[in-house]
Structure 1
Amino acid sequence: MPFQVGEVVEGTVLNITDFGAFIQLPEGKTGLVHISEIANTYVKDINEFLKENDKVKVKVLSMDREGRISLSIKKALPKPKSEKSNRSYEFEHHSNRNNNISFEERISKFLKDSDERQQQLKKNFESKRRGGGYKRNANY
C-alpha cells in the first residue's frame, strides 16, 4: 500500500547526517527527516535526539516524482493539551534514550553543562585580554 501525504507511519532510523536522518519506512521505502523537522526545539546535533535503529513515528510531508519522501518527526508528535505545556513538551518524551532519567538528573546535567560552558567562555575571554593584543610602550 503506497503512502499518502499527511499519513503517520512508523520507521527505523537508518543513517544520521549533519542535515537530517534517513528513515526506513514499511515496504522498503526510505525517506528523509530534515534537521528542522526533528523536534520542536532547536536541534544543533541530531545525535542528541536520534540514534541509528531507533523506531520513530513520522508524518509524510511530501513525495516527489523521483520517489523522494520528505518526513517530519515533530509533526507526528501528539499536540500538548495546553499552550503552557507546549514549551516543556520535548522530543525526549518520545525517545528511547532519556526515558529513565529523572527530572532532578536532567537539571543536574544541565547545570553541570552550563557551568562548564561558562568556565570555557571565561577562560577564552581572559586569554584574549592577556595576550596577543596591542601593547602600549610605557616609555611615552
Structure 2
Amino acid sequence: MQVEVGKIYEGKVTGITNFGAFVEIGAGATGLVHISEVALEYVKDIREHLKVGETVKVKVTNVDPSGKIGLSIKQAIKQEEASAPKSKRPAEFVWDKKPAGDISFEEKLNKFKQASEEKMHDLKRSMEPKRGSNRKNY
C-alpha cells in the first residue's frame, strides 16, 4: 500500500506504549501516533484516550526513508474541523437546569481541578525559555 503524506486514513489501534500508539492504516502499513499527537489537549496517560482495537482517523505526517510512518490524530481532527461547512447561524445554547448525570460535587470539583492543572501545565510549558537560546542577559 502506498501511503501519502497529508492524507487522512481510518485505522485500527494495534498496540499502545507509554510514548504512543501503533495504528494499522492498511494492508501491512502500520504507523506510530506519538503521545503528543493523540488529542487536542495534554495527554498524561494515553490509555485514557485510546484502546487496542479502537478505530481512529489519522493523518500521515511523514514517512521516512526506512519506511517508518508518522501519524497524528490531533492533525486529523483539526483538518476535519477546518473542512467542515460553517453554519451562518450562531450556535444556540440551551440552559439545562438538570444536573449532568448523577455526578457528585466532589467528582465535578476533581474534574475541574484536573482540567485546570492541565491548562496550567500547558501554559507553563509555552512560557518556558527555549533551551540552547543564544540570548544573553545583560
The alignment's TM-score, normalised by the length of structure 2, stands at 0.61
Residue type at the aligned position of 1:24: E
Aligned length: 97
Q: What is the 5 A alignment of 1:1-140?
A: 1-77=1-77, 78-79=80-81, 104-105=100-101, 108=104, 110-111=107-108, 113-114=110-111
Would you tell me which structure has more helix in proportion to its own residues? 1
> What is the CA deviation profile of residues 30-53 of structure 1, one whole-angstrom value per residue up to 9, with x for unaligned ones?
100000000000000011110000
Q: Which has the larger radius of gyration?
A: 1
CA distance in structure 1 between the aligned counterparts of 2:67 and 2:23, rounded to whole angstroms: 14
Secondary structure in 2 aligned to 1:57? Answer: strand
- Label 1:115 to 1:73 Cα distance change in 2 as closer, same or farther (>3 A): closer
> What is the CA deviation profile of residues 47-79 of structure 1, one whole-angstrom value per residue up to 9, with x for unaligned ones?
111000000010000001111000000111122
Q: Which runs of 5+ in 1 are unaligned?
A: 83-102, 118-140
Q: Percent identity?
A: 48
- Label 1:75 to 1:104 Cα distance change in 2 as closer, same or farther (>3 A): same
CA distance in structure 2 between the aligned counterparts of 1:50 and 1:22, rounded to whole angstroms: 11
Q: Which runs of 5+ in 2 are unaligned?
A: 88-98, 115-138
RMSD: 2.9
